[in-house]
């Protein structure tokens, strides 16, 4: 359902609104918190199902959209690679930050 996020984790779950940018920012914080406490978190949002994990290793996964290396990332059958929480939840990553990271990746 559009604008509604369902989060499922070991031992429970929660349904949160995800209509405004503020609600989606709150969702990012909930998902990150749960992912760091669980092995895997499932998020249903905007018709997609994501499996989200926290990676505490030094070699953090690179987001397939914004190219940032992140400690919490998700995969979905609907996309290739991993996405960071901002990208998979649909919040903007600053353009300047993305350009800087792209420059580093090339150089
Ligand atoms: Zn991203």
- For the entire predicted model, the pTM comes to 0.83
At 2 the pLDDT is 81
**Mean pLDDT computed over 65-75:** 92
At 106 the pLDDT is 38
At 18 the pLDDT is 96
Question: Is the pLDDT confidence value at 44 over 80?
Answer: yes
Cα of 93 to ligand 1 centre, how many Å?
A: 7
Cα of 3 to ligand 1 centre, how many Å?
A: 20
Cα of 66 to ligand 1 centre, how many Å?
A: 4
Write down how long the chain is. 107
pLDDT per residue as tens digits for the range 76-94: 998 899 999 999 999 888 7
Read off φ and ψ for residue 19, nearest 5 degrees. Answer: -95, -50
Domain-wise residue ranges, the chain: 4-106
**Mean pLDDT computed over 18-29:** 93
Cα of 10 to ligand 1 centre, how many Å?
A: 25
Cα of 71 to ligand 1 centre, how many Å?
A: 11
- Choose among 57, 50, 105, 103: nearest CA to 81: 50
């Amino acid at each position: 359902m559009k604008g509604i996020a369902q989060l499922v984790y070991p031992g429970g779950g929660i349904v949160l609104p995800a209509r405004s940018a503020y609600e989606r920012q709150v969702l990012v914080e909930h998902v990150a918190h749960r992912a760091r406490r669980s092995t895997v978190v499932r998020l249903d949002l905007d018709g997609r199902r994501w499996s989200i994990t926290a990676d505490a290793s030094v070699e953090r996964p690179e987001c397939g959209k914004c190219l940032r290396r992140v400690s919490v990332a998700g995969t979905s059958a609907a996309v290739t690679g991993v996405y960071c929480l901002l990208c998979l939840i649909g919040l903007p990553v600053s353009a300047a930050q993305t350009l800087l990271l792209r420059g580093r990746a090339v150089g």
